[in-house]
Structure 1
Amino acid sequence: MSDLTLKERLLNVLEGKEVDKVPVCSVTQTGIVELMDEVGAPWPESHSDAELMAKLAIANHELSGLEAVRVPYCLTVLVEAMGCEINMGTKNRQPSVTGHPYPKSLDDAAIPEDLLQRGRIPAVLEAIKIIRDKVGPDVPIIGGMEGPITIASDLASVKSFMKWSIKKPDLFEQVLDLATEAAIIYANEMVEAGADVISVADPVASPDLMSPDSFKDFLMPRLQKFSGAVNSTTILHICGNVNPVLDYMADCGFEGLSVEEKIGSVKKAKEVIGTRARLVGNISSPFTLLPGPADKIKTESRQAMDDGIDVLAPGCGIAPMTPLENIKALVAARDEYYA
């Protein structure tokens, strides 16, 4: 098994097959300022320029040793194409949504016929093709995107979305269905461009914002529809302490579940999900990877591997000011574990 390629190792482990060692990568955002300077691909320019986007993504794989290449660097690409207004951020701050197309009603809501030609979607698709050309067939490419629940809340605004979930269930379900359909179209186009894994970050599905009952009754069916319709391996990332919904997450049909350190015990989480999905994470991005030191990163990584983590990874998006050395320590921890 030691002759597995990086792609084979990651895909095999996510499919529940035995591998020689735990893969180490990031299924969440990977852009850091140190690498932006190193390769000349800063934010916000590399959010829109396919060549720069690819260059920055490849840099983290080549210079830190992370065993996958992941693009893009935010959760605003699809919602921008759907009509949201975006602040493109700065060199060390990700883009964010500043305006919503359907805060009052969904009368004119529809998926644009030219969705895949709008906004930054063409740049992301082109970046995936460039990455594949440059890294070859044996390195996995992870296409990242906002999940259906977060898309729905961005289209309506979080305030309206939450209000509709209680007072206007018809609108609530309508915007969820619209978001899910758009997400499937975009995800499959990323797969067509060359992505091996689609990693969905859906922070608004967190128990911090939506009740476990809402997750089970309304969110889970949309996530199941998404995972069933996307032509690749899929990973679901939800922020926060997801223990109240972890059992439901495992029934959503994603091969991988990406979790933060807030879940507490990796062992217990593995017991909950059983063989339904593989666990990805959960080294703290803000409290371990960002500040370090390397010894702490290695200690926490060893613990996660002892407890059975399937893919060693940051628990959430890598903070842009994280030193490259700290990401290298994550990779070194895995290497030393199997030495």
Structure 2
Amino acid sequence: MSLSPKQRLLDTLARKRVDRPPVICTGGMMNAAIVDVMNRTGHTLPEGHFRSDLMAELATDVKHDTGFENFGIPFCMTVEAEVLGSDIDFGTLACEPKIAREPFASNAEVEFRSVTKMLDAGRIRQVAEAGALLSCKNPDVPVIGSITGPVSTAASIVDPMTFLKELHKKREDSHRVLDYVSDFLIAFARLLVDGGATAICIGDPTATGEILGPRLFQDYAVTYLNKVIDGIHAAGVPVLVHICGEMKAVKPSIPKLHCDAISTDALVNLKLLKQEYPQLTTMGNLSTFLLELGEPEKVSRQTASLVRDGIDIISPACGLSTSSSIHNIQAMTQTVKEGGAAW
């Protein structure tokens, strides 16, 4: 069986037989634009956050140097928050962008703007254009457009502590904000698909069992993730979802997500999750602490273990440190490509 990286990923997400797992890093909260790569090429951040051509060049550098079998854009989780009114600290070569200030003190204060007009604001068009450049030049390589999940996006425009309290106390306002944010995320994702994105990955780090608990996770995270997923599916592409943290409290809700693959933190035993819910397509979950601080041989052994466990897509567990070793990442990707044979 000889498959292109794009076909291997699409077949995996469609639950078809493949020769081996894809090994990917999706961008967004799983940004692989590490310092080693940027220092070698001179294509750097934060400049690459603003220019579509440089974003595409850096995504190409990442794929070439790391061995990941996809292009992942953008390189941060602040694109949506900026458009929705938050002040952004765009960081440095070694430090990713962060929310500097949320514009609203509570959900009741959120101003609802035209989604269509917001698609021409901030860096939205630059990300879509970068995706179009990548897909046009590399038709056999999947372009993954990464967006921030609805709960995390809402918590990045409203004071986070207030936002979380109001999920309990002001449910009507909370649902209204999450519905608005979800409409915007669907429109952004569809713009990425129009530009040639093969799949969309949703990272929702605020939507964890530890933060929300089972009831709020079901009421808010599942409800609005599914709204966004369904909206993206209507555009004809698969959707991957990453949920951070320990999953015990919310595990029964995971199969209710409409996504095509579920990615988890390193805390989660994906083998057991797959055994308990065999209908899930699993993705992950090599420790990013190991990728930053470990040795290539140990990275290779842990990767081989994931392959043996039948994990469908091999990927870092969560956000990569920008100081991660290029040799460790290469040990991960090469091990998968060599059939899971540990070094």
How far residue 140 of structure 1 moved from its aligned partner, in angstroms, is 0.4
Q: Distance in 2 between matches of 1:327 and 1:117?
A: 36
1:161-208 superposed Cα distances (whole Å, 9 cap, x missing partner): 112112111111111111111111101110111111101110010112
In structure 2, relative to structure 1, the CA distance for the partners of 1:13 and 1:308 (3 Å cut) is same
Q: Distance in 2 between matches of 1:217 and 1:112?
A: 24
Structure 1 portions without partners, runs of 5+? none
Name the counterpart of 1:236: 241
How far residue 82 of structure 1 moved from its aligned partner, in angstroms, is 1.1
Q: Distance in 2 between matches of 1:108 and 1:224?
A: 24
Name the counterpart of 1:258: 263
Q: Secondary structure at the match of 2:69?
A: coil
Q: Distance in 2 between matches of 1:247 and 1:301?
A: 27
- Which residue identity lines up with residue 307 of structure 2 in the other structure? M
- Which residue identity lines up with residue 88 of structure 2 in the other structure? I
Q: TM-score when scaled to structure 1? A: 0.95
In structure 2, relative to structure 1, the CA distance for the partners of 1:107 and 1:59 (3 Å cut) is closer
Q: Residues 256-335 of structure 1: matches in 2 within 5 Å?
A: 256-263=261-268, 265-275=269-279, 277-285=280-288, 287-335=289-337
How far residue 336 of structure 1 moved from its aligned partner, in angstroms, is 3.0
Q: Distance in 2 between matches of 1:172 and 1:235?
A: 25
In structure 2, relative to structure 1, the CA distance for the partners of 1:111 and 1:96 (3 Å cut) is farther
Report how many residues are paired: 334
Q: Distance in 2 between matches of 1:63 and 1:196?
A: 21
Q: TM-score when scaled to structure 2? A: 0.94
Q: Distance in 1 between matches of 2:273 and 2:248?
A: 8
Of 229, 250, 257, the match for 1:245: 250
Name the counterpart of 1:87: 89
**Is the contact between residue 198 and residue 235 of structure 1 (CA under 8 Å) also seen in structure 2?**
yes
Q: Distance in 2 between matches of 1:160 and 1:261?
A: 29
- Which residue identity lines up with residue 165 of structure 2 in the other structure? K
Q: Secondary structure at the match of 2:282?
A: strand
Q: Distance in 2 between matches of 1:169 and 1:5?
A: 46
Q: Distance in 2 between matches of 1:87 and 1:259?
A: 27
**Is the contact between residue 284 and residue 315 of structure 1 (CA under 8 Å) also seen in structure 2?**
yes
Q: Structure 1 segments of 4 or more deviating over 6 A?
A: none
Name the counterpart of 2:77: 75
Does residue 145 (structure 1) correspond to residue 147 (structure 2)? The answer is: yes
Q: Distance in 1 between matches of 2:110 and 2:33?
A: 38
Name the counterpart of 1:181: 183
- Which residue identity lines up with residue 271 of structure 1 in the other structure? Q
Q: Give the stretch that moved more between structures: 199-208 or 97-106.
A: 97-106
How far residue 18 of structure 1 moved from its aligned partner, in angstroms, is 1.1
**Is the contact between residue 200 and residue 236 of structure 1 (CA under 8 Å) also seen in structure 2?**
yes
1:45-77 superposed Cα distances (whole Å, 9 cap, x missing partner): 111111111111111212221111101111110
**Is the contact between residue 151 and residue 220 of structure 2 (CA under 8 Å) also seen in structure 1?**
no
- Which residue identity lines up with residue 174 of structure 1 in the other structure? R
**Is the contact between residue 82 and residue 111 of structure 1 (CA under 8 Å) also seen in structure 2?**
no
Structure 2 portions without partners, runs of 5+? none
- Which residue identity lines up with residue 263 of structure 2 in the other structure? S
1:18-38 superposed Cα distances (whole Å, 9 cap, x missing partner): 101111111221111111112
**How large is the RMSD of aligned CA atoms in angstroms?**
1.4
Q: Secondary structure at the match of 2:283?
A: strand
**Is the contact between residue 235 and residue 254 of structure 1 (CA under 8 Å) also seen in structure 2?**
yes
